[in-house]
Structure 1
Amino acid sequence: MVQYKKPGVYIQEKNAFPDTFVPAPTSVPVFIGYTQFAKSGTTDLTNIPKKISSFAEYEQCFGGDAPMTVTQGATPDQITCTSPFLMHRGMRLFYGNGGDTCYIISVGSYVDKDLNPLLPDKTALIDALHSLVKTPEPTMVVTPDTALMTLAEWGDVAKAVLAHCANQQDRIAILDLVNGTQKFGLPDAIDPVRDFHETVGEIGLDYGTAYYPWVNTSLAELDDITFLQLSDDFKKSLQKDVLAEAKDQTPHNAMLEELANYITNVRSLPRAKSAHTALIQASTTYKDTMKKVLAAVNVMPPSTAMAGIINFTDTTVGPWNAPVDTSINFVLSPTVDMTSGEQQTLNTPLNGKAVNAIRSFMDRGVLVWGARTLDGNSQNWRYISVRRMVILVKRWVRTACEPFVFAANDAQTWTTLKAIIENFLTSLWKLGAFSGGTAKEAFSVEVGLGSTMTSDDIQNGYLKITVLLANTHPAEFITLTFTQEMQKP
């Protein structure tokens, strides 16, 4: 109590409102993978979580795309891009779909110290998770490069990421399917969904989500590639076809014949770009083939795009809104078309490991058409929005409680904490985060002796708070009933 020593006027200020706290970001992904380099100035960023906010900043710290080789199979249409690294193109998809602030963990370069090409190493990707334990801000974990690994290696990384998310309890894993360009359910063929179910494991499923199929994007254009990306055999085959085109023309096209020789002889990028531009203008054969090459280069798994969509959804609405019925920027089509009946197999498998579909709809384009976690049989954690909403509340309530760790465990502290949490939850309810016509129907907060704690709890230093939430759920199944009424006289 203030001791007044002399006569006079004294003023006391009293707080009229409960304490509050600044909400933490809800949609900050961390991308783990390989980059061209990893440095900020002279600082090596390898295996260090680096926070960035733009694609330009990514390229400044981590460089450009990995070298890629495009091969041709037994038929002219069997064209495949064999680059094992997807981080750079994945970041373009992320920022192209509303992405903002994120973290990057580079686990290494595309080549070793002798400039020999490398392949993604599962151990390096798993070890990178250790540095995330003390990095509290990320709420999503994405590993783009794993989509091109063997199924067994992918499974080891996926299990580690799910276990990490379950242990941290404040983030989710966004997974891709290996061989996601293949149609599922075909007998005697590669089945990416079946392989996913058998390999992803059983731990942390309510902290993970997955999307299928891969998508055909428009990230690269014809000017972004050249014949330098083609394998030696592919170059020879293309050169032969262009020479045949030159000979078939009347009169004989000597200029095109000369340009065709560049395909196997030019090695420098500037000369290759110049010859590539000239060949596109002069040769229909070359242009058509390079369009197919471009299509192969532009095939991407969808996890990085989904991270951007979730980021955008959180910013415009909130994490309580399911990231679904949303178009995907820079995507032309899914690599596999599916019907509603086929999607049912993805949404409601017997094992509960639901996979969210990316589908193409007439007059609407390519849409995300699923909002489930991998724990599809759970009534509690079936939906991504519910899991992420609870993560949001847990993170913010924990932040609110931290200043009271050493406060007296008495009624005044309980009342203060209850007011802070209720104030926060009320603001979310007004935004539509919870169901219920009133705040009392939407949530409740209980704390106190005889309510959430016993005398022994208080003596042992435990302050227990119970928060009940009426989360909103996606209206996945809308039933329309039509009844004809008899004509009235």
Structure 2
Amino acid sequence: MALMKTPGVYVVEKTAFPNTVVEVATAVAAFIGYTEKAEKAGNDGQALVRKPWPIASMTEFEQYFGGPPQPCFTLKVVDDPTADPSPAIDMRGPRPQVSTFEHQGRTYRLTRAAGKAGHGYRMHAAMRHFFQNGGGPCYVVSVGVYGDAASAPEIDGRSLIDGIALLLKEQEPTLVVVPDAVSLPSADCAAVQAAMLMHCGGEMRNRFAILDVWGGDCSRQDPAGDCIDSFRNALGPNFLDFGAAYYPWVHTTLMQTSDFRYWMVENTAELAALIGDALQLDTRPVGDPQAEPQRQALADVAKAQVDPGTRRIERDESLLAMSTLYARVRDEALRQMNLMPPSAAMAGLYTAVDHARGVWAAPANIAMAGVLAPAVAISGAEQEDLRAPLSGKSINAIRSFTGEGVLVWGARTLDGNSLDWRDVNLRRTMIMLEESCKLATKAFVFEPNTVATWTTLQAMIARYLTGVWQHGGLMGATPEDAFSVQVGLGQTMTPDDVLEGVLRITVLVALRRPAEFIEITFQQQMQKS
């Protein structure tokens, strides 16, 4: 207050209300991966590469980062139907997608190998699945752009790890998702996921990683090996409570029949020949009024890969009308295109649950939107090892239930042996409480380390926790049962702490834990009347 040296009227304002704790956002996902472009309108085209950028809708994503990649397939005839037509899975290389089917007595193999343009880029589809499942405002980090087969870069694990590091200066993100990681070789995928956990639990300690299982579209009895054991062995023991993993992958409805075109089959000339064989055009006479249009359409298809100018959508419709083989190829290609790892959808479900019920609610027993079925059917007995293995690395199951759809049937972190941080909602609730109180108390740095400051801080944090308890975020019949806040000399500090300028606050909270196991006991009683 100014010294009163001159006669007059002096106005003194006093603060009527104390400081408050502002709750931080809990479900702001950050996606790292490859996109078609990365530019703002009017700029030189590379302005957003390797730059975290906030968006709020799929429209904004496509405005800044473009559309989906064009997938590329190869169709071959399997000469020996009794042999296994699927190529051996090499965990040291990108994982291919293969479909084998029979048509008119012949066995065909449709392959979509990772590592080429359009084969491993999952960012666009992941964003669609995120918003379809309730996703909201999020961040996108484009680590590179894709193009045609000649110019597109291969998915690089080092680039994805560097993209994660770009989030160090961003305060808002609370979830980290890397959809393209599963398109890497197994070891590189594990390195990216370890970097995600290090970023969330070691460097920032204020965000949560959602991981996919490499090869999660296969069962645990697959000849290539147990994908769950491989995932657990490769991941390592660090910061497991800051991440969760989900298995299996899911069959979605993201891509519709209109999204597939015949020129997506790389060997269009061979495709045309195989369709011609199935239609038996060689045995039909020249000038046949039905065969000649078919021959002409197939000749145009054969030239489509060489001359993109010959591509026409009406030819695709003609193929569907005249060839059941082509319809089968399209269906198998769409099945591969719609096979998605679940991390992006889970980020959307986290967001939806946080907004509807609060971050303290377990993101489980909820249906996944846009999902037809899990890639692998899991029984209750098979889920036992996923939920509570000896290693402690719990994997949350995605299961299909009759009449209920596809449900997320688990809400555990990777640190399944920890009673403190076993549950996803416990870790994420604690992140919210810690960050909210941390940002609020920052205003008191360099304030006097006295009783007045201690009392203000205690009241501010207690008032905030009371609000959380009233909204159902903490256990206990009364606020005293739900939390306690201690600060002061003789409680949390010693005289030496005061001399060193250290102010210590101890907060105890009773967090909500999910009821995973419900037991109902029935017994008979004697007749009373």
CA contact (8 A) 2:110 2:329 kept: no
Match for 1:382 among 419, 422, 427?
422
TM-aligned CA distance change 1:235 to 1:401, over 3 Å: farther
Match for 1:413 among 446, 453, 476?
453
The amino acid that maps onto 1:466 is T
Give the CA deviation at 1:478.
Answer: 0.6
Tell which deviates more after alignment, 264-273 or 362-371: 264-273
Output one character per residue of 1:13-63: Cα deviation in whole Å (capped at 9) or x when no partner: 554432114322111111111111211231621211111111111111111
Q: d(CA) in 1 for partners of 2:472 and 2:394?
A: 26
Tell which deviates more after alignment, 394-403 or 258-267: 258-267
CA contact (8 A) 2:263 2:311 kept: no
Instruction: State how 1:299-448 maps to structure 2 within 5 Å.
Output: 299-448=339-488
Match for 1:172 among 208, 214, 217?
208
Q: d(CA) in 1 for partners of 2:223 and 2:136?
A: 43
TM-aligned CA distance change 1:8 to 1:435, over 3 Å: same
CA contact (8 A) 2:396 2:412 kept: yes
Tell which deviates more after alignment, 95-104 or 266-275: 266-275
| 2:251 alignment partner, SS class | strand
CA contact (8 A) 2:271 2:302 kept: no
CA contact (8 A) 1:35 1:87 kept: yes
Match for 2:515 among 475, 480, 486?
475
Q: d(CA) in 1 for partners of 2:302 and 2:460?
A: 70
Q: d(CA) in 2 for partners of 1:111 and 1:240?
A: 29
Instruction: State how 1:16-35 maps to structure 2 within 5 Å.
Output: 16-35=16-35
Give me the TM-score of the superposition, normalised by structure 1: 0.93
- 1:71 pairs with 2:71: no
The amino acid that maps onto 2:199 is H
Instruction: State how 1:195-344 maps to structure 2 within 5 Å.
Output: 195-232=230-267, 236-237=270-271, 239-241=273-275, 244-245=278-279, 247=281, 252-267=290-305, 268=308, 271-344=311-384
The amino acid that maps onto 2:17 is F
Output one character per residue of 1:157-209: Cα deviation in whole Å (capped at 9) or x when no partner: 1111111111211011111111111101x275421101101101111101011
Q: d(CA) in 1 for partners of 2:201 and 2:17?
A: 36
- 1:91 pairs with 2:127: yes
The amino acid that maps onto 1:179 is G
CA contact (8 A) 2:416 2:422 kept: yes
Match for 1:462 among 502, 506, 516?
502
RMSD: 2.4
Residue ranges of structure 1 left out of the alignment (5+ in a row): none
CA contact (8 A) 1:29 1:141 kept: yes
Q: d(CA) in 1 for partners of 2:190 and 2:505?
A: 38
CA contact (8 A) 1:309 1:323 kept: yes
| 1:170 alignment partner, SS class | coil
CA contact (8 A) 1:221 1:294 kept: yes
Output one character per residue of 1:231-288: Cα deviation in whole Å (capped at 9) or x when no partner: 31x7624642355337599984443343333332224378332211232234333223
- Work out the number of aligned pairs and report it: 486
Q: d(CA) in 2 for partners of 1:270 and 1:329?
A: 38
| 1:280 alignment partner, SS class | helix
CA contact (8 A) 2:301 2:311 kept: no
Aligned to 1:452: 492
Aligned to 2:112: 81
The amino acid that maps onto 1:259 is A
The amino acid that maps onto 1:264 is A
TM-aligned CA distance change 1:326 to 1:455, over 3 Å: same
Tell which deviates more after alignment, 477-486 or 65-74: 65-74
Q: d(CA) in 2 for partners of 1:269 and 1:372?
A: 52
CA contact (8 A) 1:426 1:439 kept: yes
- 1:104 pairs with 2:140: yes
Give the CA deviation at 1:11.
Answer: 7.1
Residue ranges of structure 2 left out of the alignment (5+ in a row): 79-99, 103-108, 114-118
Match for 2:191 among 109, 132, 156?
156
The amino acid that maps onto 2:198 is A
Give the CA deviation at 1:432.
Answer: 0.7
Output one character per residue of 1:397-435: Cα deviation in whole Å (capped at 9) or x when no partner: 011101110111111111111111111111111111011
TM-aligned CA distance change 1:239 to 1:318, over 3 Å: farther
The amino acid that maps onto 1:87 is M
| 1:107 alignment partner, SS class | strand
| 1:39 alignment partner, SS class | coil
Q: d(CA) in 1 for partners of 2:357 and 2:273?
A: 53
- Percent identity over paired residues: 41
Q: d(CA) in 2 for partners of 1:251 and 1:344?
A: 63
Output one character per residue of 1:114-169: Cα deviation in whole Å (capped at 9) or x when no partner: 94332211111112232211111111111111111111111111111111111211
TM-aligned CA distance change 1:8 to 1:438, over 3 Å: farther
Q: d(CA) in 2 for partners of 1:275 and 1:89?
A: 26
Give the CA deviation at 1:5.
Answer: 7.2
The amino acid that maps onto 1:207 is F
TM-aligned CA distance change 1:194 to 1:299, over 3 Å: same
- 1:49 pairs with 2:52: yes
Output one character per residue of 1:281-302: Cα deviation in whole Å (capped at 9) or x when no partner: 3433322321121111111101
CA contact (8 A) 2:34 2:123 kept: yes
Output one character per residue of 1:452-473: Cα deviation in whole Å (capped at 9) or x when no partner: 1111111111111111110001
TM-aligned CA distance change 1:187 to 1:360, over 3 Å: closer
Give me the TM-score of the superposition, normalised by structure 2: 0.86
| 1:44 alignment partner, SS class | coil
TM-aligned CA distance change 1:281 to 1:423, over 3 Å: farther
Tell which deviates more after alignment, 186-195 or 157-166: 186-195
Instruction: State how 1:117-132 maps to structure 2 within 5 Å.
Output: 117-132=152-167
| 2:503 alignment partner, SS class | coil
Aligned to 2:90: none
Tell which deviates more after alignment, 273-282 or 309-318: 273-282
CA contact (8 A) 1:243 1:256 kept: no
Q: d(CA) in 1 for partners of 2:258 and 2:510?
A: 52
